[in-house]
Structure 1
């Protein structure tokens, strides 16, 4: 299975940074951007400008050819099958009790679509976040609450929810067991 090019670049940045044992803060200081921006880039929440991307690669002391060498740029009209063992764990927020599992990502009509299984435990203490995407959620298990612009929305198994995830939002598990939802991110073109 081949991830979208943007996700591959995000993952490559994180991989190279961790290989060199460089913290987010250290890389951000070297590049001249915020730690939050580096985190958003690594977690595919935003796409860096060409200048920032090149600065990141340079700051990681990686040859440009080496950085881009193994990226899969092929495209196919074949059906996509994702086997259970191909789902990968991804880090999004640095909060204990939240778990993201990427099922797949692809481009549709020029826009990035990212499909994730998200689980959150009752004890998770997660702050407000935003993503450069619109988001569709389908609750698989449990009960949860979204808070968006001061409004609270409660979802239970079987419920669907679609919203502009660029707005700061907060999730809270309301069930004893972790809630699980299928999340589809529709990233904006920029």
Structure 2
């Protein structure tokens, strides 16, 4: 899925009639960074994008959502899972993190994600938090999860469950992709 993060961010900022400088003051993200994102000269980490979107009053899911699904659909093929991550390259190796959501953002009290972390990929250098609880099971590969001050290496078959208000971070230190199926309630993307 080709998603123009920069154009979408500029559209939302202009919809609220904010300058880049005003948005920077609201979010704590520099005006230069906002400018570079809007020009697609850099890709924001998940934590940075969440800060910016909080200033705009929209969730990650709404930011990346396309048109609404028709009817009350309960089944979704792999190709119908909606990518809700920035087209960002993260981690030391320039590796991607991909979040694919089951269903339409905002249509349920629970958010199910199919997450893929390429080798070296992570959710960003900063720990982040959000108002929810989340759980997941590692399907393949390995992931280093930091919750608060505790870091654990989880491998295929291992799971996690924590209060997302505690700052956390995910990182794939392994030589292969890590795949996780996770749930979050209430939805935060």
TM-score range, shorter chain: 0.5 to 0.7
Q: 1:81 aligns with which of 76, 80, 91?
A: 76
Residue 72 (structure 1) aligned with residue 72 (structure 2): no
> Structure 1 pair 86/115, CA: closer, same or farther in 2 (3 Å)?
closer
Shift of 1:156: 0.5
> Structure 1 pair 29/145, CA: closer, same or farther in 2 (3 Å)?
same
Q: Secondary structure at the match of 2:9?
A: helix
> Structure 1 pair 168/92, CA: closer, same or farther in 2 (3 Å)?
farther
Look up the match of 1:174.
173
Q: 2:26 aligns with which of 11, 33, 47?
A: 33
Shift of 1:152: 2.1
Describe how 1:94-105 pairs up with structure 2 within 5 A: 95=90, 96-105=94-103
The RMSD of aligned alpha carbons is: 4.2
Look up the match of 2:40.
none
Task: Please give the per-residue CA displacement for 1:58-110, whole angstroms capped at 9, x wherever unaligned.
Answer: xxxxxxxxxxxx9638652x4232342554252297734231232324544xx
Shift of 1:123: 6.1
Q: Specify every segment of 5 or more residues in structure 2 that has no aligned partner in the other structure, as ranges.
A: 30-46, 59-65
Q: Does the CA contact (< 8 Å) of 1:28 and 1:35 recur in 2? A: no
Residue 148 (structure 1) aligned with residue 143 (structure 2): no
Greater fraction strand: 1
TM-score for both structures, normalised by structure 2? 0.58
TM-score for both structures, normalised by structure 1? 0.57
Q: Specify every segment of 5 or more residues in structure 1 that has no aligned partner in the other structure, as ranges.
A: 1-10, 55-69
Once residues 181 and 98 of structure 2 are traced to their aligned partners in structure 1, the CA distance between those partners, rounded to angstroms, is 10
- Which of the pair has more CA radius of gyration? 1
Look up the match of 2:114.
116
> Structure 1 pair 92/165, CA: closer, same or farther in 2 (3 Å)?
farther
